C-alpha cells in the first residue's frame, strides 16, 4: 500500500510541484544568510505582512527549515521506491530473452552465425527453449536504473547537507582576529548541526579592491591567515570566484567590504567615547555609502555616510570623507564632515576622526555530503549515456531444419540501428532488406 502510494503518478507530480514551489519561495523571499542585514531590514519594513509570514513559516531560511527537510525526505522515499522498480526491470531484461522482432532463416549453422555475432560485439547471455541469446551492449539495460540511482544519491546527499551543514559570516578589520568559539555576525545551521567553531583563530590581513576607470570592480582580493595556538600563521589569499579550503572547511569571500572609521567623542564634561563605524564601499565616486547608528550614550539618532575620496577623484582613494548627522524629530540637528585627523563639533560633543581602516567579510562553510552530490551527477550522466548511446540489441539464435533461425530487435531507436540487422543478413549470406521489401 505504501509502495503504491509513493509510486503513484499523482504523488510523484505533487512532490515535484511542492519542491518547485519551495525553490520559488526561496527565490521570492530574501534569505537571511545571503541577504545583508540592511537590505533585509529594508525589505521587512517595506513588507510587514510578508515579513511576519516569512518569520512564521521559516521562509527566510527555506533550505534549512524543518518543512523543507520533510519534503525532501518524502521525495527521497518516492525516488527509492522508483529506483528499486527500475532495478527489478533492468534485472528482468538482462535475464529474459526476446519474444518478438524481425527474423530470418539461413542454411548456415548456428555455430557459424554465433561466431559472426561475437565478431560484431554481441555477447552470449544464456538461452531458453533451445535458443541461444546474444546481446550487444547489455549494460544499456541498466541506464534507467542508474539515472534513478544518481538522483537518489544526489537527493540523499542534499538532505545530509541540509541536516548537518554549518555556515557563518564574520566581518573583520584588517589585523583583527576572530577566536574559535566567538560570536558570528550571521550563522545558519542544519537541523542536526551544532555551533560552527573554527579549528583555529582567523586573522584578516588585507583587503585590496581594484576598480576600472568607470568605477566597476575589476578584482577584490582578501588575504587572511589561520593562527594556531602556538602563534604560527598559515596565510591564504582569495578573490572573486576563488575559495579556499582548510581543515575540511570551505572559506569564501564575503559579499561586502568597505571602510571602518574610528571616531573619538569628547563631551563637555570631558567624558570620552570611542566608536567604530563600519560602512559598505560606495558604488561609485560620486555616490555616498549610508548607514544609521544608535549609540547608547547619545540621545539622538546618528546618520553617517562616506565618499571613497573627498575630492571625488576615485572610488577608493587615500582621503575618504566621513560625514555624521545628528537627527532630532526627523530633522538634521547637526552635521559634521571629517577627514582623517580632523576634529569638529557635533552637537554637545567634540569629534575627531582618528583613523580609517578597511574591513572585509569572510564566509565559512562546514558541510558534509557535497562529494555525494557530485557522485550523483556522475551516476546520472553515466545512466543517461548508457540509455541513449548504448541501447541493447538482442538476438535469439535457434536451430531450424538444416540451418538456424535468428530473431533481432533493438530495445531503443530501432530505425537508427536498422543497418545492424542488414549486417546480420550479410553474415547469414542473405541479401539486405530494401525499403520496398520491408513495405
**Which among 312, 339, 359 is the end of a domain?**
359
In a domain, 364, yes or no: no
Q: Please state whether beta strands 201-211 and 217-227 pair in parallel, antiparallel, or not at all (unpaired).
A: antiparallel
User: Got the DSSP string for 145-201?
Assistant: HHHHHHHHHHHHHHHHHHHH-EEEEEEEETT-EE-TTPPPSEEEE-TT------SSE
In a domain, 51, yes or no: no
Residue 2 contacts by C-beta under 8 Å, 6 or more apart in sequence? Answer: none
Rounded to 5°, angle at Cα 363 from 214 and 66: 125
**CATH number for the domain that contains residue 120:** 3.30.310.80
Map residue 103 onto helix, strand or coil: strand
| pLDDT by residue, tens only, the chain of 439 residues | 788 888 888 998 999 999 999 999 998 999 887 787 778 888 888 898 999 999 899 998 898 899 999 999 999 999 999 999 999 999 999 888 666 888 999 988 888 899 999 999 999 988 877 889 999 999 999 999 999 999 999 999 999 998 999 999 999 999 999 999 999 988 999 888 999 999 999 999 999 999 999 999 999 999 999 999 999 999 999 998 899 999 989 999 988 899 999 999 999 999 999 999 999 999 999 999 999 999 999 988 999 999 999 999 999 989 999 999 999 988 999 999 999 999 999 999 999 999 999 999 999 999 888 899 999 999 999 999 999 999 999 999 988 888 899 999 998 888 889 888 988 998 888 876 654 344 3
pTM as predicted: 0.76
Looking at the structure, tell me whether residues 423 and 349 fall in a common domain: no
Q: How far apart are CA 271 and CA 361, in angstroms?
A: 33
In a domain, 213, yes or no: no
**Which among 344, 359, 374 is the end of a domain?**
359
Map residue 248 onto helix, strand or coil: coil
Looking at the structure, tell me whether residues 409 and 347 fall in a common domain: no
Q: How far apart are CA 362 and CA 246, in angstroms?
A: 13
Exposure string (b/e) for 109-127, b if CB count within 10 Å is 16 or more? ebeebbeebeeeebeebee
Nearest to 174 by CA among 311, 243, 276: 276
Question: What are the grid coordinates assigned to 322, written together?
Answer: 566621513
Looking at the structure, tell me whether residues 395 and 355 fall in a common domain: no
Q: Which domain holds residue 334?
A: 258-359
**Which among 306, 336, 359 is the end of a domain?**
359
Looking at the structure, tell me whether residues 348 and 262 fall in a common domain: yes
pLDDT tens digits along 408-434: 999 888 888 988 898 899 888 887 665
Q: Please state whether beta strands 249-267 and 349-366 pair in parallel, antiparallel, or not at all (unpaired).
A: antiparallel
Predicted pLDDT of residue 292: 92
**Count: domains in the chain:** 2
Exposure string (b/e) for 202-239, b if CB count within 10 Å is 16 or more? bbbbebebebeeebeeeebbbbbbbbeeeeeeeebebe
In a domain, 132, yes or no: yes
Amino acid at each position: 500500500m505504501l509502495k503504491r502510494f509513493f509510486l503513484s503518478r499523482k504523488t510523484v507530480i505533487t512532490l515535484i510541484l511542492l519542491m518547485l514551489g519551495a525553490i520559488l519561495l526561496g527565490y521570492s523571499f530574501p534569505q537571511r544568510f545571503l541577504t545583508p542585514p540592511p537590505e533585509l531590514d529594508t525589505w521587512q519594513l517595506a513588507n510587514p505582512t510578508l515579513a511576519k509570514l516569512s518569520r512564521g513559516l521559516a521562509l527566510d531560511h527555506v533550505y534549512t527549515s524543518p518543512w523543507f527537510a520533510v519534503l525532501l525526505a518524502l521525495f527521497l522515499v518516492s525516488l527509492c521506491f522508483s529506483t528499486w522498480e527500475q532495478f527489478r526491470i533492468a534485472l528482468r531484461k538482462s535475464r529474459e530473452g526476446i519474444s518478438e522482432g524481425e527474423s530470418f532463416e539461413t542454411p548456415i549453422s548456428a555455430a557459424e552465425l554465433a561466431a559472426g555475432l561475437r565478431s560484431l560485439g554481441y555477447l552470449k547471455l544464456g538461452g531458453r527453449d533451445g535458443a541461444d541469446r546474444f546481446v550487444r551492449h547489455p549494460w544499456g539495460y541498466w541506464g534507467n536504473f542508474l539515472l534513478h540511482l544518481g538522483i537518489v544519491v544526489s537527493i540523499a546527499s542534499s538532505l545530509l547537507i541540509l541536516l548537518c551543514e554549518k555556515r557563518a559570516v564574520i566581518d573583520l578589520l584588517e589585523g583583527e582576529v576572530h577566536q574559535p568559539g566567538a560570536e558570528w555576525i550571521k550563522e545558519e545551521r542544519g537541523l542536526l548541526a551544532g555551533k560552527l567553531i573554527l579549528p583555529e583563530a582567523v586573522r584578516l590581513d588585507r583587503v585590496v579592491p581594484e576598480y576600472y576607470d568607470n568605477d566597476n570592480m575589476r578584482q577584490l582580493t582578501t588575504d587572511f591567515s589561520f593562527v594556531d595556538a602556538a602563534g604560527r600563521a598559515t596565510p591564504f589569499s582569495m578573490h572573486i570566484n576563488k575559495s579556499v579550503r582548510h581543515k575540511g572547511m570551505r572559506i569564501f569571500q564575503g559579499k561586502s567590504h568597505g571602510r571602518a572609521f574610528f571616531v573619538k567623542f569628547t563631551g563637555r564634561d570631558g567624558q570620552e567615547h570611542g566608536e567604530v563605524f563600519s560602512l559598505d564601499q560606495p558604488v561609485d565616486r560620486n555616490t555616498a555609502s549610508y548607514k544609521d547608528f544608535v549609540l547608547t550614550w547619545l540621545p539622538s539618532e546618528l546618520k553617517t555616510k562616506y565618499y571613497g575620496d573627498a575630492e571625488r577623484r576615485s572610488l577608493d582613494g587615500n582621503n575618504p570623507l566621513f560625514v555624521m548627522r545628528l537627527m532630532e524629530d526627523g530633522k538634521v540637528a547637526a552635521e559634521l564632515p571629517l577627514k582623517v585627523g580632523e576634529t569638529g563639533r557635533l552637537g554637545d560633543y567634540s569629534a575627531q576622526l582618528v583613523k580609517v581602516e578597511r574591513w572585509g567579510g569572510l564566509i565559512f562553510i562546514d558541510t558534509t555530503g557535497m562529494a555525494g552530490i557530485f557522485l550523483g551527477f556522475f551516476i546520472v550522466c553515466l545512466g543517461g549515456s548508457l540509455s541513449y548511446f548504448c541501447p541493447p540489441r538482442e538476438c535469439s539464435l535457434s536451430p531450424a531444419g538444416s540451418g538456424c533461425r535468428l530473431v533481432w530487435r533493438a530495445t531503443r531507436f530501432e530505425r537508427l540501428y536498422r543497418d545492424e540487422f542488414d549486417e546480420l543478413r550479410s553474415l547469414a549470406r542473405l541479401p539486405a532488406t530494401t525499403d520496398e521489401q520491408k513495405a
